[in-house]
Structure 1
């Protein structure tokens, strides 16, 4: 793991990163979700707060995320090994012109890549740590934004300052909210941040939560022979995360995706996929962690 220069402290609004913020520094890491490495170099599975209610279950010409070949101007269909017809396509984010691959799985159309939008309207300048955006490239390496997309706090993912819509306004660390669904959040126009139940619908469409991880993981980039079958073209990459203590962790071993569903004032639900487990998991994680975002078409 690599520690960035200072601990990050995020509150309900994206502007919390500004010098004028009264947020307190030095919020502790969440020990229960911090990965650890054994002497053999393998990552050990962290303890998660899992949901008991889930029973079922880029850049221009964005070709570096995922494993499928997509045309930037066409829609194509193919059948997976189970005979399910999968429809692939692309979409453009009008804010910065980036092109993303898309895939239709069951009744849902997903971005088949992680969002890589840098929200530079609210740059981070907090106790000497500066960033062009309230989102991060893994290890602060721009090449990882190209490969994996950006990592966002829950407040950033929900667009808590209401830049594009008011549906997630005020949702962030230290407060509870009742967002109006769907929440566009930081997603492009016509797309939204998925709810916990919409992720459960995805699990059902790929054969159930018990096999969803292996079905949704990409066929490359996962460590220790952890590649998936990517039968449905979702192409989840092992992006890892940024903790609230400023640590980048678990690249190569984990994929995490925010949902709009809140657990309490400091935690929200996310999906995580782990390299050695066929199951997908819904967990409750601190809102000031930075995770990946996958957008779902309205």
Structure 2
């Protein structure tokens, strides 16, 4: 028996051992059984049994002394994906002479990156046959290919590549806060970038403390329709309170927040009768969202309103203020005076508006022409402001509502103009559901004062002059501090 180098060829009549040499590593000797001579195999078994035993023992000794070589096999696994960093871990094993001199990760946007052709590489400590490595500066949503490598002496060995797309946090914008009332406001969110993954939640969070989060807030709204943007009404707020608001968006990488906005809710206005009115902030002004329904002046004196009241009957001569409620029999769906008052408020002549005892709650006033002009101009002018002021509720919706067609109504401002109709100086009621009339505090002449009209057929605001003895709705307002 003898060992021969790899260059020898196998012969049928010989028994030999092959010496193998691994390229770029130290040689090992592996004993491989060849072929027994034909004569020996055909002879008496006793003749070749002894040599066979010796050969078998020799082979066992060879295998113990010269273990079989195994090719290094790095195993690549993704440990964690974050916004701009991807952390990989690698485990590898080998059974050959030569130390691992270097190991690490190579990556790039092209397939099968190498140490010579990549967008990035790391050099890591091989340790005890494993290492971990982080890839920095990745662009969320972009596809990369990554491989581990090990260097044994001068031989570089790569793993199979992995294809992956890192996920980033989504980018979201908080919509401006509008229609701020004493108890509510309107805002929303817009997704600018999903971060390379599906946004699973989009919403708003708010609170009295800065930077509210999805776990620390006083209120949260989640958009449920899956759209990339939405607008919603924030409700349940406290009056005259500063709130902080942020949009948020969540994907598999986590939750991000939009720009923080702050706003102060308007105050609740209460008249001397105890009626409480919701209010809304429009620009630098604060307006009641409901028509006035108080029955007394601010000093407690009653406003004449009963046709049998002599003071009311002679109000045209003495210029006394008066109040009247639109007849419920002429408003289908309402059964009594209280329901009409709650839905559309009361109707007042201009003398009640101008009475020095005060019609509006303390701190509030009846707007003059300049106040109305500021409001209308803020909403785009008289050709379009009416639609932004009108309630969008339209028959057959429940009261309060507009009769059809209620064209161009969006109530974008939150003013919620309602069609309370009017009463003429002759005592005739009309146009409830179709027109809303509101007094201005501005006197035009001895017989007339300025008023504002909004109708169901279009989105216009009409400024005109009304007879002081006519009875119209009243909205109170105040300037923001």
Asked if Structure 1 and Structure 2 have the same fold, meaning a TM-score greater than 0.5 normalized by the shorter chain, the answer is yes
The alignment status of 1:114 with 2:291, answered yes or no, reads yes
1:93-136 per-residue CA deviation (whole Å, 9 max, x = no partner) reads 251221111111111111111111012624345557898x9311
Change beyond 3 A, Cα 1:239–1:125: closer
The alignment status of 1:150 with 2:331, answered yes or no, reads no
8 Å CA contact 2:369, 2:450 repeated in 1: yes
Which residues in structure 2 correspond to 1:26-175 (within 5 Å)?
Answer: 71=236, 73-74=238-239, 89-119=266-296, 121-124=302-305, 126=307, 134-139=322-327, 141-159=337-355, 162-163=356-357
Q: Which has the larger radius of gyration?
A: 2
Deviant stretches of 4+, over 3 Å = 68-78, 85-90, 122-131
Report the CA distance between 1:264 and its aligned residue.
Answer: 1.0
Paired with 1:236 and 1:91, the residues of 2 have a C-alpha distance of 18
Paired with 1:86 and 1:283, the residues of 2 have a C-alpha distance of 35
Paired with 2:287 and 2:373, the residues of 1 have a C-alpha distance of 14
8 Å CA contact 1:88, 1:101 repeated in 2: no
The alignment status of 1:226 with 2:403, answered yes or no, reads no
Q: SS of the residue aligned with 1:191?
A: coil
1:239 to 399, 410, 420: 420
8 Å CA contact 1:218, 1:237 repeated in 2: yes
8 Å CA contact 2:365, 2:476 repeated in 1: yes
Which residue number in structure 1 is paired with residue 442 of structure 2?
261
Paired with 1:87 and 1:215, the residues of 2 have a C-alpha distance of 22
Gaps of 5+ in 1: 1-60, 63-67, 79-84, 164-184
Report the CA distance between 1:69 and its aligned residue.
Answer: 8.3
Higher RCO, 1 or 2 (CA under 8 Å, sep at least 6)?
Answer: 1
Report the CA distance between 1:147 and its aligned residue.
Answer: 0.5
Change beyond 3 A, Cα 1:77–1:149: farther
Gaps of 5+ in 2: 1-181, 184-232, 246-261, 313-320, 329-336, 394-400
Paired with 2:446 and 2:327, the residues of 1 have a C-alpha distance of 28
Paired with 2:244 and 2:386, the residues of 1 have a C-alpha distance of 22
Which residue number in structure 1 is paired with residue 132 of structure 2?
none
Paired with 1:280 and 1:69, the residues of 2 have a C-alpha distance of 29
What root-mean-square deviation, in Å, do the aligned CA atoms of Structure 1 and Structure 2 show? 3.1
Larger relative strand fraction: 2
The alignment status of 1:187 with 2:360, answered yes or no, reads yes
Change beyond 3 A, Cα 1:138–1:71: farther
Q: SS of the residue aligned with 1:283?
A: strand
The TM-score normalised by the length of structure 1 is 0.61
1:130-189 per-residue CA deviation (whole Å, 9 max, x = no partner) reads 98x931111162311110111000001112xx32xxxxxxxxxxxxxxxxxxxxx41111
Paired with 2:264 and 2:458, the residues of 1 have a C-alpha distance of 27
Aligned length: 204
